[in-house]
Chain A
Amino acid sequence: MKFRINGKKYSPEGVLLLLPALLLYGAVIVFPVCSTFYTSFFEWNGIKQQAYRFVGLENYRTFFHDYQTATAFKNVFMLAGTGVFLTIPIAFFLATVINQKFRGLRLFKTFYFMPVVINRIAISLMFTFILYPKMGPVTVLLREFGIRGVNILGNYATAMPAVCLIYMWCDAGFQMIVFSSGLAAIPDEIYEAAQIDGVSSFQKLRYITIPMMKSTFKIVLVFVFTGAFKMFDLVMGLTSGGPGGATEVPNTLLYNNAFTYSRLGYADSIAVVVVLICLAFSFVVNLVFRQRD
Chain B
Amino acid sequence: MKRVISLVVAAAMTAGFLTGCGSSGTQGGNAKTEAVKEEPKTEESKEMDSNEEKPKAEGADGKTVKITYLSRFVNPELVRAGYYIEKLNQFRGENPNIEIEDISIGDDSEAFKAKINAGVASGDLPDLFIANNGFPLDQWVENGLVADLTEVVKSPDWTGPSSDEMLEAFTFGGKVYGVPNALNTGQVFVNTGLLKEHGITEVPRTWEEIEAMAPALNEAGIVPFGVAAKSKAEVGRFISALSCMMYGTQFRDQLADASIKWDGEEGMALAKQFKAFIDEGVLDPDAVSFEVQDTISLFEQKQVAMMYTAAYHFDRFQQMDFSDDIVCVNFPSFSDRPENKDIWIASASEGFMISSKPGTPEYDAACSLLSFMLSADTFKGYAERNGGGAFPVDFDFDLSQAKNVVGSFMEEFSKRTASTDEFTAYLNNASLVDTTRSEFQSLFVGRSPEEVCRTLAEQYAKEGR
Contact = CB atoms under 8 A, between A and B. Distances in A.
B431 interface: yes
B335 to A, nearest CB: 31
Nearest to A241: B438
Contacts of A259: 113-114, 117
A67 B462 CA distance: 11
Interface residues of B, number: 49
B288 A242 contact: yes
Contacts of A240: 230
B457 to A, nearest CB: 12
A47 B120 contact: yes
Interface stretch (B135-143, B262-270, B366-374): B135-143
Contact of B288 (A13, A47, A67, A243): A243
Given A47-B143, A49-B123, A153 B9 contact: no
A181 interface: no
Nearest to B229: A243
B288 A260 contact: no
A35 B286 CA distance: 43
A81 interface: no
Contact of B445 (A24, A48, A244): A244
A16 interface: yes
Interface residues of A, number: 39
B3 interface: yes
Interface in B1-20: 2-3, 6-7, 9-11, 13-14, 16-18
Contacts of B2: 13
A275 to B, nearest CB: 21
Interface string B435-459: 0001101111111000000010011
B59 to A, nearest CB: 32
B60 interface: no
Given A47-B145, A154-B444, A244-B441, A17 B13 contact: yes
A50 interface: yes
Interface in B206-243: 230
Nearest to A44: B121
A214 interface: no
B144 interface: yes
B21 interface: yes
Contacts of A156: 442, 445-447
A154 B289 contact: yes
Interface string A27-52: 10000000000000000011111100
Interface in A135-174: 149, 151, 153-157, 159
A154 B286 contact: yes
A20 interface: yes
B445 A154 contact: yes
Contacts of B286: 133-134, 151, 154
B14 A243 contact: no
A261 B6 contact: no
A69 interface: no
B438 A242 contact: yes
A149 B285 contact: yes
Contacts of A220: none
B268 to A, nearest CB: 18
Contact of B136 (A13, A45, A67, A159): A45
A210 interface: no
Interface string B111-147: 0011001001111000000000011100110111100
B10 A19 contact: yes
Nearest to B144: A49
B279 interface: no
Contact of A245 (B145, B442, B458): B442
B307 to A, nearest CB: 16
A47 B18 CA distance: 27
Contacts of B165: none
A99 B439 CA distance: 50
Given A46-B121, A260-B431, A262-B117, 7 more contacts: A13-B10, A16-B14, A19-B13, A20-B10, A20-B16, A134-B286, A153-B289
27 contacts: A13-B7, A16-B7, A17-B6, A20-B13, A23-B14, A23-B18, A27-B21, A45-B139, A47-B139, A47-B140, A47-B143, A48-B120, A50-B142, A50-B143, A67-B458, A134-B286, A149-B285, A154-B289, A154-B445, A243-B441, A243-B442, A244-B439, A244-B447, A245-B438, A256-B434, A261-B431, A261-B434
Among all A-B residue pairs, the 8 with the closest Cβ atoms: A244-B442, A16-B10, A13-B6, A154-B289, A133-B286, A48-B123, A156-B445, A49-B143
